[in-house]
Amino acid sequence: MSAKHYPRLLSVPDRSFFLFGPRGVGKSTWLRDALPQAQVFDLLEYSLHLELEQDHGRLEAMAGDRPEGSWIVLDEIQKIPALLDEIHRLIEKRKWRFALCGSSARKLRRSGTNLLGGRALTREMESFSQHELGRDFNAGFSLEWGLLPMVQGDQKNAADILNSYVNTYIKEEIKEEGIV
């Protein structure tokens, strides 16, 4: 099942939006599939991250002369929350649409950054649903191991994947965010 692609039930809004959800649920994959013509900026790319962090205005130059209504994807937007002011400006000035993806809405809200009130919708992506998995849905396995795409796609390594996920993501997030 690891090479199989499952279409998600989420649909692309007609305006800019945030896409939040836990790590590993397929946000980036879905955005590439749903917006194939979009220009994508992955803020995990170190040199891009560094350049945009130092000069937010570079985003407009990097996007080039795209027509109004063009889609631009910024993956891992929580890495540079201050970039949202520039995105706000570009929504207004250039009429571009942005898909802003990240795993930590909490980080953005807590930083007091510009959340584009009224200019960007909010969408959430969670683990697979039974409907999305269709005939491949296995109730017993899913009840025991969950519906994370990485677990469903590599069922023989489910225990190791979930152990790693819990130790590197959930514990890190809980400590970092001071939730507990």
Tell me the torsion sign for CA atoms 150, 151, 155, 158. Answer: positive
The answer to whether residue 3 sits within a structural domain is no
| Same domain membership, residue 139 and residue 116 | no
| Same domain membership, residue 66 and residue 154 | no
Cα 47 from chain centroid (whole Å): 20
The answer to whether residue 143 sits within a structural domain is yes
pLDDT digits (tens, 9 = 90+) for 103-156: 877 777 777 677 888 899 999 999 999 999 999 999 999 999 999 999 999 999
Percentage above 90 pLDDT, the chain:
77
| Same domain membership, residue 108 and residue 178 | no
CB atoms closer than 10 angstroms to residue 47: 7
| Same domain membership, residue 113 and residue 70 | yes
DSSP string, 37-88: TSEEEETTSHHHHHHHHH-TTHHHHHH-SPPTT-EEEEETGGG-TTHHHHHH
The answer to whether residue 6 sits within a structural domain is no
pLDDT at residue 1, rounded to an integer = 42
| Same domain membership, residue 119 and residue 144 | no
The answer to whether residue 5 sits within a structural domain is no
| Same domain membership, residue 100 and residue 136 | no
pLDDT at residue 180, rounded to an integer = 45
- What is the token pair recorded at 95? 């009429």
Hunting for tokens 């800019």 — which residue is that? Answer: 16
The answer to whether residue 133 sits within a structural domain is yes
| Same domain membership, residue 144 and residue 122 | no
| Same domain membership, residue 118 and residue 44 | yes
Do 84 and 115 touch, CB atoms closer than 8 A? yes
| Same domain membership, residue 137 and residue 107 | no
Cα 123 from chain centroid (whole Å): 10
| Same domain membership, residue 107 and residue 53 | yes
Domain count, the chain: 2
The pTM assigned to this predicted structure is 0.89
* Domain span at 39: 14-126
pLDDT digits (tens, 9 = 90+) for 11-60: 999 999 999 998 899 999 999 999 999 999 999 999 999 999 999 999 99
pLDDT digits (tens, 9 = 90+) for 71-87: 999 999 999 999 999 99
| Same domain membership, residue 119 and residue 48 | yes
The answer to whether residue 161 sits within a structural domain is yes
The answer to whether residue 28 sits within a structural domain is yes
Provide CB contacts within 8 A for 20, sequence distance 6+. Answer: 27, 101, 102, 103, 104, 105, 122, 123, 124, 125
| Same domain membership, residue 65 and residue 52 | yes
CATH number of the domain encompassing residue 48: 3.40.50.300
